[in-house]
Amino acid sequence: MKKFLYIGEITEGKLPDEISRQVRDFIKSHSGEMIELIIKHHSPSITLKQKKLYWNYYCEPIAKFIGKSIKEIDLFLCKEFLPPRIYMFEGKMRNEVQDIDDLNTREFSDFLMQIDSWCLENNISLP
């Protein structure tokens, strides 16, 4: 499957001319096909250290406190605090649980702050 990725500036509401042409060509070459077009503010993806922080300092202590597995806690936190990923498949709207791997650093920081607040409300101590 061909992909088109552009990370750069939009000036005066427009893509650079060459990129704009490439986007049009890409869309024309996929006429009649299902595509996914995502336009979002660019922010770096989370790092391995941030993922370890989440698993070791959030999921693990919460799992011990509640008596569930770390994976169950991860699923609960993602369902509780992340918006679902919504997409169209075979003419039907679908949604699924978003994963931390889908988050950029800003979204991840917001996610952890929500978990911190939830832990405070539920008397769960984090390291």
pLDDT of residue 89: 74
Is CATH 1.10.3660.10 the classification given to domain 41-121?
A: no
Q: Is residue 109 predicted with pLDDT exceeding 70? A: yes
Extended beta strands in the chain, E state: 85-89, 92-96
What is the average pLDDT across 95-124? 91
pLDDT at 1: 52
Q: Is the pLDDT of residue 81 over 90?
A: yes
**Which band of pLDDT confidence, cut at 50, 70 and 90, is reported for residue 88?**
confident
Nearest to 116 by CA among 61, 42, 52: 61
CA distance 73 to 60: 8
Q: What is the pLDDT of residue 7?
A: 66
Residue pair 54/114 in contact by the 8 Å Cβ criterion: no
Are 97 and 78 spatial neighbours (Cβ–Cβ below 8 Å)? yes
Task: Return the amino acid letter for 76.
Answer: F
CB neighbourhood size of 112 (10 A)? 20
* Residue intervals in the chain for CATH 1.10.3790.10: 41-121
